[in-house]
Amino acid sequence: MEDRVKQIAQWIIASKKTVVFSGAGLSTESGIPDFRSPGGIWDRYDPEDFTFQNFLASEASREKYWQMATEFYRPIKMAKPNQAHLAIAELERFGKLDCVITQNIDGLHFKAGNSEERVIELHGTAIFVSCLNCNKRYDRDEIQERILGGQKTPRCDDCGGVLKPATISFGQSMPERETQEAYHRSSTCDLFIVVGSSLVVQPAASMPLVAKRNGARLAIINRDPTPYDGIADAVVYGQAGSTMASILEYVKKGLGAGE
């Protein structure tokens, strides 16, 4: 494993355009429950109840949605970036990161120090709430206060429209700008590093394939096997945090930044 860690570090040093693709494995290492894991949100709620169509359909569905969303937001609010987030932010600081494409909605890449222009949030963000009518954006904490104060289905101050966390729900269209940008970055990078993703949720999971088909090296760092391990140039099975911390140390030494 150490040889592969060193190899990935050498690729980062030599790379002109490194894209990091991050998934739920980063969030769980920061204490945020995985929706699909035992004890996760979908153990207590039925995902079918929370489609975008259901959210739009009735006040009762929206009330149930906000109940679930409020419960899920608590661990996000308390979470801190782990070693993987911090290592990825350091890569940006060293000029060795083209962008982060993330499936996560927790904003931890920003807390770690990545800049907004370097992070593409494919599945939206739980940190903000948006009006589905006029697109006004609210800080999530402001809306949480309203809910704790008794509002069960918050509405927009400006137009009275329905408010929803700025995440992508089942049945909701992927964000067009972010998806196009992610495909573009994937197709033009020379190194694509998957960190903490099982690579099963589409269309996001196809991006490593896009990168590989366009000539990029592919490295996968994940606790469990993924469908793309067979085409990867390097695979490391392990925790995202400790693995990325080790890679960063080798990168720093190679760049002469470790002294």
What pLDDT score was predicted for residue 71?
85
Cβ neighbours of residue 37 closer than 8 Å, sequence gap 6 or more: 28
Residue range 148-171, pLDDT digits in tens: 899 999 999 999 999 999 999 988
- Name the pLDDT band for 201 (thresholds 50, 70, 90): confident
Task: Enumerate the active-site residues.
Answer: 123
Cβ neighbours of residue 227 closer than 8 Å, sequence gap 6 or more: 199, 200, 205
In the chain, the percentage of residues whose pLDDT exceeds 90 is 83
Residue range 67-98, pLDDT digits in tens: 989 988 988 999 999 999 999 999 999 999 99
Locate 74 and state its tokens.
């608590």
Instruction: Give the chain's mean pLDDT.
Output: 93
What pLDDT score was predicted for residue 91?
98
25 has a pLDDT exceeding 80: yes
User: What does pTM read for this prediction?
Assistant: 0.92
Whole-angstrom distance, CA of residue 232 vs CA of residue 193: 10
Rounded to 5 degrees, what are φ and ψ at 193? -115, 115
What helix, strand, coil percent values describe the chain, rounded to 5?
45, 15, 35
- For the chain, which domains are there? 1-31+81-123+174-259 (3.40.50.1220), 33-78+124-167 (3.30.1600.10)
Residue range 111-159, pLDDT digits in tens: 999 999 999 999 999 999 999 999 999 999 999 999 989 999 999 999 9
